[in-house]
Chain A
Amino acid sequence: MVEIDHGCKCPGNPLLPQICKVIKITEETPDVKTFRIQTLDGKKPFTPLPGQLAMISVLNVGEAMFSLTAQGDDWIESSIKRVGFLTEALHNLFEGDLVGVRGPYGNHFPTEELKGRDILFVGGGIGLAPVRSFIRHAIAHRKDYGELDVLYGSRSYGDLVFKEDIFDHWPKACNTHITIDIEEDGWDGHVGFVPSYLEEKAFSPEGKAVVLCGPPIMITFCLISLAKMGFSKENVITTLEMRMKCGVGKCGRCNIGSKYVCLDGPVFTMAELEDLPDEQ
């Protein structure tokens, strides 16, 4: 059973962005870019906890909520898929361009509560982005955790995000299992969907918590697989996505039942979600 903190911490006027600059842009896939962001005086805008969110704006276009995937001493990073007007505008930015940033919003992954336990991270497509912050944290505090497994899949090799991490960095500290949906030339790794790969791997539920994030259809089937494998809903953690405007539980739209994803989430256990209305 994992206890999740549902408090959100964001100082000052939470609706006012700081102007920051994009100091590095990494093209992860044809439609995903990672933006490294810093204040104008070269500092970290704020220090998010793993799993927390930020409102990122192209000030003259609009703003939206994104998960923060990584942070350093003087930067934060978010990986963003191009799906609409704002993300298109973000993808058109160059290094050195200005963005607005406010946050951090929402709760965070249970980094403390899971100390000493084994963790299985399961990601699909861009769904690895929110999980990455936790994986990086776990690796940085490697001795605090038991066995770490990362199982990640995408449609094709080209669609795999964070290739340096999953192929070079992470295998040094955890077991990585990478799969793509359909066979392709030059790929000699695993082929198949994430849920079936999960069952193939036959992870033992003993003492293990699962952090699961990906497209809804993948989540649905992974939950079936995890249940078959003996994982209880209390030990499966996920992050939710809803449309957001304010980030602090006021503008209304990201509610699921009486919970606001921006404030009480985005991190929930599957057991908690089961108690909420089915409206995602």
Chain B
Amino acid sequence: MKIKKDKFKDALASIAKEAKVFLPMKGVYASEYRVWDGAGEPFFERNTALPPKELLFPRSERMYEYDLNAGTVTEAAPDEKIVIAGIRPCDVRSVEHLDKVFLESEYTDVYYRARRENLTMIAYGCATPAPTCFCDSMDVVPTDAPGADVVMNDAGNSYVLTVNTPKGEHIRDLISSFLSEGKADDVPAVSCSLKVEKPDDLHKQLIARFDDPMWETLSDACLGCGCCSYICPTCYCFDIGRENRGKTGTAFRCWDSCMFSDYSRMAGGHNPRPTKKERLRNRYLHKLAYFPERYGTSLCVGCGRCIDKCPARLDITNVPDIIQGSESNG
């Protein structure tokens, strides 16, 4: 199944009649998945600066309203249909990881579930990995996304579509008038230039080296900002706060970062992770050791955003390198 590139926007317009369509787009300052206004151009050359997690796990999300006068709490229920057209396979994998946390673990998160059920993902097979990309070392195939509802791949003057799910079939039906028969000429394989070698028991080796001096060296240059966590497609830690107006108000949750001093500080002042060494170690171990232990898969998808944007140029791939004993010292 194919769609001509010059019909792509017409197809989006058909989808937009029943759902809010998000596209990777260049913003004035940074690229992100933005609401498509009916005219904007997709930006497929590089992955977006901001990950798509915002659409499932907003930076700030209303959870409930409370009214102490009436003695009531009222739960929020998000119910907007969303289609992301052009999400990259690394980001699709990140959604699968978020599903593990918010849907498949001991407790289901009702807010996430409502958004997730309303989400359709049309993946865009990646043809242009950035120098910081290493998804194919993290078990992602750059040109394919089994977790997406539809996968599209660039084939010259058209896109080839593969439908994976019933949600995907619905998209196909919506845009059927723009589709033509056609099989994918073999999608050329894509390979990231940054390769990460890691042993199968990486998580065990890392935990065994919890007290290793390597954490000090790795965190030397860390500035303790939350950049890596906020632009990471899989960092899902949150804080719960409230916006209060006297006796009524709103409880919200918002992104938080384990890199901030306030994150684990307890009432009374004790902080189990007092310096950047403990905080960075916790972040890296969460990605590469704790999450694999708990959920059976690495929490890093190799999108490379943190490497690209870290103000101090910290590089998460140095962690497996040290374990492999192949640390490059330039």
- The reply, when asked whether chain A contacts chain B directly with Cβ atoms under 8 A, is yes
Q: A248, B249: Cβ atoms under 8 Å?
A: no
Contact with A along B202-228 (1 / 0, CB 8 A): 000001001100000000000000000
Q: Which of B61-69, B154-162, B185-193, B301-309 is found at the contact surface with chain A?
A: B61-69
The residues of A that contact B207 with a CB separation of less than 8 Å are: 257, 277
Main secondary structure of the interface of B (DSSP, over half): mixed
Query: Nearest Cβ distance between residue B262 and chain A, in whole angstroms?
Result: 9
The residues of B that contact A242 with a CB separation of less than 8 Å are: 264, 266, 272
The residue of chain B having its C-beta at the shortest distance from the C-beta of A216 within the complex is: B270
Contact with B along A1-42 (1 / 0, CB 8 A): 000000110100111111100000000000000000000100
Contact check: which of A19, A63, A254 meets B240 at CB < 8 Å?
A: A63
The residues of A that contact B291 with a CB separation of less than 8 Å are: 258
Please give the number of chain A residues whose Cβ is less than 8 angstroms from any Cβ of chain B in the complex: 44
B79, CB-defined interface residue at 8 Å: no
Q: A243, B264: Cβ atoms under 8 Å?
A: yes
Q: Which of B7-15, B101-109, B121-129 is found at the contact surface with chain A?
A: B101-109
The residues of A that contact B102 with a CB separation of less than 8 Å are: 250
Q: B72, A19: Cβ atoms under 8 Å?
A: yes
Query: Nearest Cβ distance between residue A277 and chain B, in whole angstroms?
Result: 5
The residues of A that contact B99 with a CB separation of less than 8 Å are: none
Chain B interface bracket (under 10, 10 to 19, 20 to 34, 35 or more)? 35 or more
Q: How far is the CA of A62 from the CA of B267 in the complex (A)?
A: 12
Most chain B CB atoms below 10 A, which of A19, A241, A242, A253: A253
Q: A248, B107: Cβ atoms under 8 Å?
A: yes
Q: B110, A19: Cβ atoms under 8 Å?
A: no
Q: B109, A250: Cβ atoms under 8 Å?
A: yes
The residue of chain B having its C-beta at the shortest distance from the C-beta of A105 within the complex is: B107
Contact with B along A82-104 (1 / 0, CB 8 A): 01111100000000001010000
The residues of A that contact B111 with a CB separation of less than 8 Å are: 15
The residues of A that contact B321 with a CB separation of less than 8 Å are: none
Contact check: which of B240, B282, B285 meets A251 at CB < 8 Å?
A: B240
Query: Nearest Cβ distance between residue B294 and chain A, in whole angstroms?
Result: 5
Q: B278, A251: Cβ atoms under 8 Å?
A: no
A204, CB-defined interface residue at 8 Å: no
B43, CB-defined interface residue at 8 Å: no
The residues of A that contact B241 with a CB separation of less than 8 Å are: 62
Q: B106, A252: Cβ atoms under 8 Å?
A: no
Contact with B along A256-278 (1 / 0, CB 8 A): 01100001000000000000011
Q: B239, A84: Cβ atoms under 8 Å?
A: no
The residues of B that contact A10 with a CB separation of less than 8 Å are: 107
Instruction: Knowing A15-B63, A98-B68, say if A64 contacts B290 (CB, 8 Å).
Output: no
Q: How far is the CA of A178 from the CA of B111 in the complex (A)?
A: 49
Name 26 A/B residue pairs within 8 A (Cβ), A-sorted: A10-B107, A18-B73, A59-B68, A59-B242, A60-B68, A60-B248, A61-B242, A62-B242, A63-B240, A64-B267, A86-B267, A98-B68, A100-B66, A243-B264, A245-B253, A246-B238, A249-B105, A250-B102, A250-B109, A251-B240, A252-B236, A252-B258, A257-B207, A258-B289, A279-B273, A279-B282
Closest 7 CB pairs of A and B: A252-B237, A84-B267, A258-B290, A258-B293, A83-B268, A248-B107, A60-B244
